[in-house]
A and B are shown apart, each in its own frame.
Chain A
């Protein structure tokens, strides 16, 4: 497993309450158990009060900086369209982008002072061509009967980019991090997400 000398940079972005933190915790467990060094920096200043949340997640043989270098993101995993757009410049030209279709209006849009960007998907495709995947996390989670699981749907979709890792490794992490009564739902969410790409 330790053949990858280079550090991989994953940038997670979303809005407080979307569960981006759980998603990054799952990744942390998975890559640590797979034998990598891991560093993760969360910026959640006042997320509880509706602000944006970002996590810099890095894994590799030896990781020094907890922060990803601007412009060096390999994977942008975003839970919300505007929060994906906000970090578009961070992604490497050959980087991959996985976006949840959800829109959460910020106050300026709610108050009619600014427009919500309409063309997020198109903008990403313009710059990153086929390296853009859009997932309907809410739709899938709703079909499973619980919107809360949208974050794990996204993790499931994202797991496809690491063929060397088995689904069981993710499931173990999910089980380790969540209360038993949430296991079934989230395991289903993971597999549905995995099928979605």
Chain B
């Protein structure tokens, strides 16, 4: 028996491989991205692709499933909003080969734009959902999800979350078993897959019957586990919430639900009879609580004490359930008094000069989600909205329609390359079609930066690193009907400002594309080669201590306090200092210094 420590996401991928999965598609999103990366890097038996967005990923996976092979689509919680359209109808058509959709929540928004509880999709979509709590369960639940999918003719949702996806624990490895279904397409099955009203009505009934059968199945499902210990308190919980609670209250009795939906009503009623008081511990929404209360079961504690926002943890659960008896650990140092260590754009990142330019122009920036969202933090503070991927483009158009031509020159939409391809193309089409005049800037750093460097249709490489067609954003813009298309070199601040200003002032749609500005961490693009000098340093004879260069928040630049003066006698309170180990020589600060105090160095 081979046992390995695995990350939850790696265990999901392993489970899919063992279950005989053949096709996997995903769009990256924390904390789900490693699942597809695992397929691409470690499982040649599985065709793995990065799709341009989650809707496409689910469509690809479901097409494979309809063709009779086992398939997986994986995404973060907000990704399922994008993929909800196919999901809600796939729930009716069902599949042939097993289809599992992994959706990874992010309680406490470690890296997300909202905190939605994906369990709500399962009731809404009328499909079953499983929820693992550690690595072994990630693997086991993935495998059984495929059995359920095929047995009940349904897509199955597998819900993970940050602490499951990004925790490591031992997992027992088994072999791959090829599924028994013979792949192929059969036109005679059209009534099952063509969702016109006549067929929908038939499948609609099937869905209700399926959910009833699944509820029966849930009552004996082997991962809905009753543990009877001390019967004074019985906890109903699932996933990692169970792990936390079991840690603090090992003596209590438990009903651990491996299947979140449908609920095993018989089993819950039986459990309620065995224990005196029921506690429901669940992260985020009162999903179980609402349902179990509706069954007429009395609950001792649930969301009256367990928080319905942010993430749970052992101490939060202990405190909630022990109340006054909880002993708060001693505070030795107030952490809020310590300097924080917020994330920052890398030294040399092309987003820095671009947003500095926008700030200088005083533009209102309809922003988006990516590394560049870091430009919302002080001192740059140059992003003014962040909603969802692609939103800024349509919003800039809407704002310009609302405000009229006096606002020309003051509004812009900015988004990353991956974000543009995910959701920015259709709103750009809209601007042209509806005679708008908004300006869109694509920050083309040639990779999906924020989520850890995934390929996309604009990078020229597939998930497996094979060279492929690379989208030309200017050609795409042209095809959509944009007439004014410009390229800018963001590292040239003055020129970038001039071009952006010109385009924002035009009473027509404009598209600006950042050129030759790869992500600093993208080795194959050799990002440092475009810089003339390996680093810069501050000439103490010239630095007047004006702090202008600190305005760009480059991690290489710091402030050294100390009264003094320049060589030509200007008094100063301190000087800027460049850490040459961190500086990459991007020359951005050089353009900001008015006193020519930042000079090139040689290594």
Contacts and interface: CB of A to CB of B under 8 A. Distances in A.
Nearest to B30: A45
A66 B167 contact: yes
Contact of A45 (B111, B170, B329, B333): B111
B343 interface: yes
A29 B574 CA distance: 49
B502 to A, nearest CB: 32
Nearest to A41: B167
Contacts, number: 146
B12 to A, nearest CB: 15
A15 B329 CA distance: 25
Interface stretch (B311-319, B392-400, B426-434): B311-319
A106 B346 contact: no
Interface residues of A, number: 53
A82 B339 contact: yes
A194 interface: no
Contact of B558 (A32, A86, A90, A105): A105
B247 A69 contact: yes
Contact of B313 (A29, A45, A69): A69
Given A37-B170, A40-B167, A51-B342, A67 B244 contact: yes
Contacts of B342: 51, 106-107
B313 A117 contact: no
B523 interface: no
Contacts of A42: 166-168
Interface in A76-112: 82-83, 85-86, 88-90, 93, 105-112
Contacts of A29: 5
A151 B284 CA distance: 37
A4 to B, nearest CB: 16
Given A39-B134, A105-B558, A107-B344, A49 B339 contact: no
A193 interface: no
A116 interface: yes
Contacts of A109: 339, 558
B339 A66 contact: no
B555 A50 contact: yes
A46 interface: yes
Contact of B333 (A41, A65, A123): A123
User: Among the interface residues A47, A66, A82, A88, which one has the most CB atoms of the partner chain B within 10 A?
Assistant: A66
Contacts of B559: 110-112
B371 to A, nearest CB: 7
A10 interface: no
Interface string A58-76: 0000011111111110000
A82 B338 contact: yes
Contact of A65 (B244, B343, B374, B452): B244
A161 interface: no
A114 interface: yes
Contacts of B266: none
Interface string B315-359: 100100000000011111101001111111110000000000000
B3 A32 contact: yes
B555 A107 contact: yes
A2 B448 CA distance: 45
Nearest to B241: A65
Contacts of A72: 314
A83 to B, nearest CB: 8
11 contacts: A28-B5, A29-B5, A41-B168, A42-B168, A69-B247, A71-B315, A82-B341, A89-B332, A105-B558, A108-B340, A112-B561
Interface of A: 15, 25, 28-29, 32, 37-43, 45-52, 63-72, 82-83, 85-86, 88-90, 93, 105-117, 123, 127
Interface of B: 3, 5, 30, 110-111, 134, 163, 166-170, 240, 242-244, 246-248, 313-315, 318, 328-333, 335, 338-346, 371, 374, 452, 521, 550, 553, 555, 557-559, 561, 574
